[in-house]
Amino acid sequence: MDREEMARIDGLLRARQNPRCLRLGLGGGSGSGKSTVAALIRQQLEPLTTEVITLDRFFKPADQLPRYYAARLGSLQPDYNQPDSLQVAEMVAHCRQYPATDVHLLDGHFSLHYPELRQLMDLRLFVAADLERMLERRTARNLAAGYGGSHEHILSYNRECVVPGYLGYIEPSRRFADLEIPNNEADTAARDRLLADLCTRIRQALQAAS
């Protein structure tokens, strides 16, 4: 971070809504590495305590999800890449509660999309990676986990559902981020320096209030 950016982040940390707890929002596409970044933040914030709320827990049941047309199957299929794929009211109500931790981290690909969720955040982060690299990671992850069907089905789902959702809703939400976290393979060193600097400032801000 340059000096101007550091001053802006420090100002946001001082202006947090709860002096005893900082609420972070973490957005970015599927496969961008949000879970990795969340784990790094939690680790580097120690001895502060961090609760990570994975917003995927608020997906609607499959039979209530919006649908997209899967050409390979010739039928309508559940779409997890639309804003109304999540139970928004329940999600916001849950996230509005402060946990008994120092840091509350809201991790989800749509986390920066909803205005009512953004209003709860003291600091908004967006994990940025190239679209093709995100799709490669997502495909490899799902194959390793045995999730999402065959390789061909995953590629079709990426093309017909993941990419339109990302370009239509998730990528535009990066404009709401206070700070972008670069997370392509070539960015690892820069990412780690940025997170180390950010976590130092978070610790200082919270410890000053204790």
Give every CB contact of residue 42 below 8 A, 6+ residues apart in sequence: 50, 52, 103, 105
Please tell me the pTM assigned to this model: 0.93
Q: Using CA of residue 134, residue 135, residue 138, residue 143, what is the dihedral sign?
A: negative
Percent of the chain exceeding pLDDT 70 equals 100
Q: Which two tokens stand for residue 120?
A: 């709860």
Span 106-164, pLDDT tens digits: 999 999 999 999 999 999 999 999 999 999 998 888 888 777 778 888 888 899 999 99
CA distance 23 to 205: 13
CA distance 50 to 171: 26
Q: Which domains does the chain show, CATH number per domain?
A: 3-208 (3.40.50.300)
Residue 165 has pLDDT above 80, yes or no: yes
Span 80-103, pLDDT tens digits: 999 999 999 999 999 999 989 999
Cα–Cα distance list, 2 to 6, 49, 52, 135, 196 (Å): 6, 27, 28, 31, 14
DSSP per-residue codes, 61-87: PGGGS-EEEETTTTEEEE-SSSGGGB-
